[in-house]
Amino acid sequence: MKRRDLWIRFLSFLAAAAAVAGWHFYVTLGKVPAFILPGPEAVARQLISMVRDGSLLFHMGITSAGIVTGFLIGSVLGFVLGYFLAKSRVLEAALFPYLIAVQATPKVTLIPLFVIWFGLGLASKLLLVVLSAFFPVLLNTVIGFRSVPREYYELMRILNATERQMLYKVKLPLSLPILMAGLKVAMVQAVIGTIVAEWVSGKSGLGYLLVYGSTQFDSRLLLAAIFATTLVGLFFFWIIEIIESRALFWHESKIILEEGL
Amino acid sequence: MNGILRVKNVTQVFESGSGPRRDRVTVLKDIDFEVREGEFVSIIGPSGCGKSTLLKIIAGLITPTEGSVEVPSAAAPGSLPIGFVFQESVLLPWKTALGNALFPFEVMGKDTKAREPGVRDLFRLAGLSGFENYYPKQLSGGMRQRVSIVRSLSYDPALLLMDEPFGAIDAITRDSLNDILLDMWRETKKTILFVTHDIAEAVYLSDRVIVLGTKPGRIIEIAMVDLDRPRNEDTKLDPRFYGLVKKLRERLK
């Protein structure tokens, strides 16, 4: 098992190294102009210089702040509304089709409207991110609470449990796998929402950097910004994954992962 | 007869749909019987006869359309009168077997540490010693169901209701679970009402078997099981055993 793990790591490192080497040789041997596609070392130099002058950290910080604020507000609102919606079968049945429709609509289509309503400032950006995170959490909260088998309610009634105990001791933990899946989608959506909002209305942040790089024909800056965006996206996704693996240590998908490899 | 559980003329009507086209289905009709303290009584019947509904009415989960149910009061002050075992084990997957068995005390707001020795005794009775710290996923279906029985007995209820508890378990495992259940019954002296659709299982376990007919669900026979205890594999070879099984099977046709 140990040896297999090592082998997997090695192969995965090899794949990355091959991709970078391929990129390098394509650019140098193919004599690709630098404004079309700069080589990996040029992008690395760009990144290093941006780390040195603090601009990379500044823009990553702005973007991260947008992601975190929007994600937190959106998922808390989504959870609270989902909780109440799941309590009423009638309300849920009446509203659920619309929720699916809204969830299927890319939230970025709303941003031109937000710009008209709220201008190019922070409000438009935050609203988009909040909405991006809100719907997946709302949807999965409803689905998660609905998925709790009836027997658990009956057991708790026989044990004379309160509504609160039912929520905290049974419903919440039992639907946690579905809630966490919703949070993951919400996080991905929040990252996309933030970047797009900065594209359209920002004066800072990685999304702004991407648009700026494009108008300046600065491919080095663009690739550096893409790389930084990937890092930010991965970082936040990874945080959710860590929370999930702590909270869901008992869940089937984790046990299969542990035993399967 | 001095019953601690009295079911009096229970009738249950379910309505589906609404308005003038609404359907009224009588699921149970005039169900009337008593169970004595310490007695093991089974209810059998074809699917759809309302036996699970009857059990839920007795558990207080459903209010009957007509009739009433008198359940015994809790054995100890601050405890609960009824223990319930479902067809599925209904365990909390993030708690160990012991944590699940102590869960009722957690809900009642009692000191779980103080209850641990008693619950460990029940684990021993259920043949689960050594598995206290296993998670449900690590246990077999039969073991999970035993944990579920231990949980239902942990707070010493006056009446134990079991709704096809071994219905989802293979025949070989079920035989040994039946013997474990009889051991636990003898040791804890509980009153048990056991729902099943398996005639042989009902006869093997019970002092009396209540047979329900269908459409609407009603009592068509109450059979005394006149077999010696403790029961074991030899019981199943007794002519009285398969005679009664045969008789009940014909009754249900």
What are the boundaries of each domain within chain B?
1-72+198-253
What's residue A251's pLDDT?
Answer: 79
Residue B24: count other Cβ atoms within 10 Å of its Cβ. Answer: 10
Instruction: State how far residue B218 is from chain A, nearest Cα, in angstroms.
Output: 24
Contact between B107 and A251 using a beta-carbon 8 Å cutoff: no
SS3 B148: helix
Q: Which fold has domain B1-72+198-253?
A: Rossmann fold (3.40.50)
User: Residue B71 corresponds to which tokens in the numbers above?
Assistant: 């359940």
Q: How confident is the model at residue A254 (pLDDT cuts 50, 70, 90)?
A: low
Place of tokens 């507000």: A73
Measured between CB atoms, does A169 come within 8 Å of chain B? yes
Report yes or no: B135 at the A interface, CB cutoff 8 Å.
yes
Neighbours of A36 (CB within 10 A): 9
A164-212 tens-digit pLDDT: 999 999 999 999 999 999 999 999 999 999 999 998 877 899 999 999 9
Sort out which chain A residues have CB atoms less than 8 A from B108's CB and list them.
Answer: 159-160
Task: Note the pLDDT of residue B20.
Answer: 67
Average pLDDT over every residue of A57-78: 96
Beta-carbon separation of B108 and A159 below 8 A: yes
Of B90, B94, B107, nearest to A161 by CB-CB distance is B107
CA B127/CA B120 separation, integer angstroms: 11
Shortest Cα–Cα distance, A153 to chain B (Å): 10
Is the model's pLDDT at A252 over the cut of 70? no
B90 Cβ under 8 Å from any chain A Cβ: yes
Secondary structure in 3-state letters for chain A: CHHHHHHHHHHHHHHHHHHHHHHHHHHHHCCCCCCCCCCHHHHHHHHHHHHHCCHHHHHHHHHHHHHHHHHHHHHHHHHHHHHHHHHCHHHHHHHHHHHHHHHHCCHHHHHHHHHHHHCCCHHHHHHHHHHHHHHHHHHHHHHHHHCCCHHHHHHHHHCCCCHHHHHHHHHHHHCHHHHHHHHHHHHHHHHHHHHHHHHHHCCCCHHHHHHHHHHCCCHHHHHHHHHHHHHHHHHHHHHHHHHHHHHCCCCHHHHHHHHHC
Closest CA to B11 of B31, B37, B35: B31
Residue A260 confidence (pLDDT) above 60: no
Report the pLDDT value the prediction gives residue A203, as an integer from 0 to 100: 85
Interchain CB distance below 8 Å, A160 and B93: no
Look up residue A136 and give its two tokens: 């997946």
Q: Residue B56's closest chain A neighbor by CA?
A: A154
Query: What is the predicted ipTM?
Result: 0.93
Which residues of chain A does B82 touch, with a Cβ-Cβ cutoff of 8 Å?
158
Question: Which of A155, A249, A252 lies closest to B84 in CB terms?
Answer: A155
B121-135 burial, b for 16+ CB within 10 Å, e for fewer? ebbebbbbeebbebb
- Distance CA(B24)–CA(B194), nearest Å, equals 28
Q: Which residues in chain B are closer than 8 Å to A180, comparing Cβ atoms?
A: none
| Residues 6 or more apart whose Cβ sits within 8 Å of residue B84 | A154, A155, A158, B59, B152, B160, B161, B162, B163
CA distances from B245 to A257, B41, B200, B224, B248 (A): 48, 15, 6, 12, 5
Q: Does A5 contact B at CB distance below 8 Å?
A: no
| Residues A223, B78: Cα–Cα separation, whole Å | 68
With cut-offs at 50, 70 and 90, classify the pLDDT of residue A1.
Answer: low
Considering only CB atoms, which chain A residues are within 8 Å of B137? 250, 252, 255
Distance CA B240, CA A36 (A): 93
CA dist B169 and B160 (Å) reads 20
Compare all CA atoms of chain B with the CA of A148 and give the residue at the minimum distance: B90
Closest Cα in chain B to A247:
B94
Whether B82 and chain A come into contact, CB under 8 Å, resolves to: yes
The pLDDT value recorded for residue B233 is 87
Q: Which residue, among A125, A243, A258, has the nearest Cα to A191 in the 3D structure? A: A125
Confidence (pLDDT) at A261: 39
Give residue A3's pLDDT: 85
* Count of C-beta atoms within a 10 Å radius of residue A101: 9
pLDDT of residue A34: 87
Cβ of A169 within 8 Å of Cβ of B61? The answer is: no
Contact list, A167 vs chain B (CB under 8 Å): none
Sheet order of strands, B40-44 included? B82-85, B159-163, B191-196, B40-44, B208-213, B218-224
DSSP for B111-127, please give it: -HHHHHHHHHHHHHHTT
Q: What is the pTM of this model?
A: 0.84
Query: What parts of chain B have a pLDDT lower than 70?
Result: 1-2, 17-21, 75
Instruction: Give dist(CA B44, CA B222) in Å, integer.
Output: 10
**pLDDT surpassing 60 at residue A255:** no
Comparing CB atoms, the residue among A161, A173, A250 nearest residue B135 is: A250
Q: Do B56 and A155 touch (CB under 8 A)?
A: no
Instruction: Write down the mean pLDDT value for chain A.
Output: 90
Give me the pLDDT at residue B98, please. 97
Q: What percent of chain A has pLDDT over 70?
A: 96
Gap from A188 CA to chain B (nearest CA, Å): 28
**DSSP conformation letters of B186-244:** HHHT-EEEEEES-HHHHHHH-SEEEEEETTTBEEEEEEE----SS--GGGGGSHHHHHH
> What's phi and psi for B28, nearest 5 deg?
-130, 140
The encoded tokens of residue B60 equal 């207080």
- pLDDT value of residue B3: 79
On chain A, the residues whose CB falls within 8 A of the CB of B167 are none
Calpha distance A196→A238 (Å, rounded): 21
Inter-chain residue contact A255 with B107, CB threshold 8 Å: no
Of B93, B106, B108, the CB nearest to A250: B93
pLDDT at A156 over 50: yes
CA dist B85 and B97 (Å) reads 15
Per-residue pLDDT at A120 exceeds 50: yes
User: A5: burial class by Cβ within 10 Å (0-12, 13-18, 19+)?
Assistant: exposed
Q: Which residues pair with B5 in a beta bridge?
A: B35
Question: Does residue B93 sit at the A interface (CB-CB below 8 Å)?
Answer: yes
